[in-house]
Amino acid sequence: MSDSQKLMLGKRNREFKLGSRTADVVVRLHEIRLMSIRCEVSNSATNSVAVKAKCWTDKFGTLQVVPAAVLAGVFNLLNLEQSQDHGLAIFWSHDRDKLAKFIDSAR
């Protein structure tokens, strides 16, 4: 059984190696997929959040992984829109209730 298969439904792990990249938090959603979450604080609009998400979806596909980011700070709007276009779910650290509702709704 792989490490990702050992994650229990609805549970989370911190610092989890998923493919070649490490997720800050991984949640096993009730509908079986893994939600890989990158946590990022930025004070510069030049930061991009899409690199890990693309690696995860390229390796595992969207049927197995839901890439997400919890963000705080300054980000370039175009970069965020492009990240979402590539399948990244974006949540803001000041509004974590939306993340909790998303996780709960994935049944």
CATH of the domain at 99: 3.40.1350.10
pLDDT of 92-102, one tens digit each? 999 999 999 99
- Say if 30 falls within a structural domain: yes
Supply the pLDDT for residue 12. 58
- What is the distance in angstroms between the CA of the first residue and the CA of the last residue of the chain? 23
Residue 47: partners with Cβ closer than 8 Å, 6 or more residues away: 40, 75, 76, 79
- Say if 18 falls within a structural domain: yes
Burial of 24 (0-12, 13-18, 19+ CB in 10 A): middle
- Say if 16 falls within a structural domain: yes
Q: 58 is in which domain, residue-wise? A: 11-105
Q: Where are the alpha helices (DSSP H) in 11-73?
A: 51-60
Supply the pLDDT for residue 98. 95
Residue 77 parent element (H or E): helix 77-85
- Say if 2 falls within a structural domain: no
Q: How many separate domains does the chain show?
A: 1
- Say if 4 falls within a structural domain: no
pTM: predicted TM-score of the whole model, two decimal places:
0.81
- Say if 49 falls within a structural domain: yes
Which pLDDT band, with edges at 50, 70 and 90, does 91 fall under? Answer: very high
CA–CA distance, 60 with 75 (Å, rounded to integer): 27
- Say if 5 falls within a structural domain: no
**Over 70: is that where the pLDDT of 2 sits?**
no
Supply the pLDDT for residue 1. 41
- Say if 26 falls within a structural domain: yes
CA–CA distance, 47 with 64 (Å, rounded to integer): 26
pLDDT of 4-62, one tens digit each? 555 555 555 677 788 888 888 888 888 888 899 999 998 887 777 777 788 888 888 88
Residue 11: how many CA atoms within 13 Å on its side-chain side?
8
